[in-house]
Amino acid sequence: MGRRRAEATVPVTPFGGRPLGRPPTASWLWCGSEVTGVLFVLPAALLVIGLVAYPFFYALSLSLTAKQAGVPGQFVGLRNFVDLMQGEIFLRTIRNSFVFTGAAVAVKTVLGLGLALLLQRARVGRRAIRGLLLLPWVVPSTLSVLGWWWMFDPLFGVVNLGMLKLGLIGDRIPWLSDPIWAMVAVIIVNVWRGLPFFGISFLAGLVSIPDELYEAAQIDGAGKATCFRRITLPLLRPILGMIVLYSVIMTVSDFNIVYILTRGGPMNSTHLFATFAYEMGLAAGDIGKGAAISLFIFPVLAAVAFLQLRLTRRQPQ
């Protein structure tokens, strides 16, 4: 049909290989007035301003307000934040977020790297395997996490029954009712869901490393471990960084997994910012505090955006 194949044209950086904010220069680009350009972008701009930027500033103002559902709010300065910081549950939430995000991202990185290296060697049937492996990432997490909830059921769940049958455990594990096991469970499910994304992205990075480098290194007598440390890892770093950063923001802001598996419990041991904000702001109706809790995701977002931009700008064209 003369159409270009999509695979070949989709670039490997989220920036389309074009540094941000530097439009291509050609004199014909100027034709059509500035007004035309603005008109093309206007609907998207209005949407972003009205339903992303405005709510963000609204959240800031709500967080400085003592606002219960249904009654007008009252400006209280930073009291919501002070209250939160003095409350045990919020400190617990911060700690949970570090544990959950740190553990999940670390495990996904290591297992994902292993998965990518294995996939690279499995050339026959790679497409089919890749297609199956990606299913946890593709299926809406709300729905698949329901499956995990069922598997973790203490009495009838296949995780306990299976391990009992295999003799791996002598007693049922209280998966979702013990603070530590519950954290383990939500981390397992987050890893399950995110691992394919890591593996397939890393695979794309591996494939783009030229074979000649390995051949040259082999001629020079480098072993496999040296090759991995000196060639694979350094060349994989940009994509590794992008994926890890992206995953940090998506993991720290997770809602679905915790909400469905534990609702933040037992005893707030798995609350993350999003689930605690939901409980405080919507279930308990303290909108000011709820907004304040959500806002704690923002510094993570800012850091991730900043680092990602730096990472892409440094990348060679």
The stretch among 78-86, 134-142, 174-182, 214-222 that binds another protein (CB under 8 A) is 134-142
Beta carbons of 218 and 269 less than 8 angstroms apart:
no
Question: Contact between 110 and another protein (CB under 8 A)?
Answer: no
Q: What does the block give as tokens for 211?
A: 């074979």
CA distance 145 to 258: 9
231 is a site residue for another protein (CB under 8 A): no
How far apart are CB 129 and another protein at their closest, in Å? 6
Does position 146 interact with another protein (CB under 8 A)? The reply is: yes
Q: Which of residues 57-86 bind another protein (CB under 8 A)?
A: 58-59, 62
**Residue 71, SS3?**
coil
- Contact pick of 105, 113, 260, 261 for another protein (by CB under 8 A): 260
Sign of the CA dihedral running 211, 217, 219, 225: negative
Interaction between residue 10 and another protein (CB under 8 A):
yes
205: CB partners within 8 A, 6+ apart: 116, 235, 236, 238, 239, 240
Q: What is the CA radius of gyration of the chain?
A: 24
Nearest approach in angstroms of CB 126 to another protein is: 10
Site for another protein in 33-62 (CB under 8 A): 34, 36-41, 43-45, 47-48, 51-52, 54-56, 58-59, 62
**Stretch in the footprint of another protein (CB under 8 A) among 92-100, 102-110, 175-183, 294-302:** 294-302
Collapse the DSSP code of 57 into the 3-class scheme (helix H, G, I; strand E, B; otherwise coil) and give the result. Answer: helix
Name the residue nearer to another protein (CB basis): 161 or 235: 161
Distance CA 120, CA 104 (A): 24
Residue 267 interacts with another protein (CB under 8 A): yes or no: no
Q: Check: CB of residue 104 under 8 Å from CB of residue 194.
A: yes
User: Contact with another protein (CB under 8 A): which of 109, 269, 277, 279?
Assistant: 277
Interacting stretch for another protein, rule CB under 8 A, among 102-110, 116-124, 214-222, 261-269?
Answer: 116-124
- Give the Cβ contact number of residue 80 at 10 Å: 25
Any contact of residue 13 with another protein (CB under 8 A)?
yes
Extract the tokens encoding 117: 């290296």
Tell the smallest beta-carbon distance from residue 250 to another protein (Å).
Answer: 6
Residues 208-227 within binding reach of another protein (CB under 8 A): none
Size of the site for another protein (CB under 8 A): 121
- The CA distances from residue 191 to 36, 129, 205, 247, 283, in Å, are 46, 18, 20, 11, 28
User: Is residue 113 close enough to count as binding another protein by CB under 8 A?
Assistant: no
**Neighbouring C-beta atoms of residue 141, cutoff 10 Å:** 20
Residues of this chain, 298-317, that bind another protein according to CB under 8 A: 298, 301, 304-305, 308-309
Closer residue to another protein, CB minimum distance, 182 or 260: 260
Letter string b/e over residues 83-111, b meaning 16 or more CB atoms within 10 A of that residue's CB:
bbeeeeebebbbebbeebbebbbebbbee
Footprint (CB under 8 A) of another protein, residues 180-209: 192-197, 199-201, 204
Give the shortest CB-212-to-another protein separation in angstroms. 20
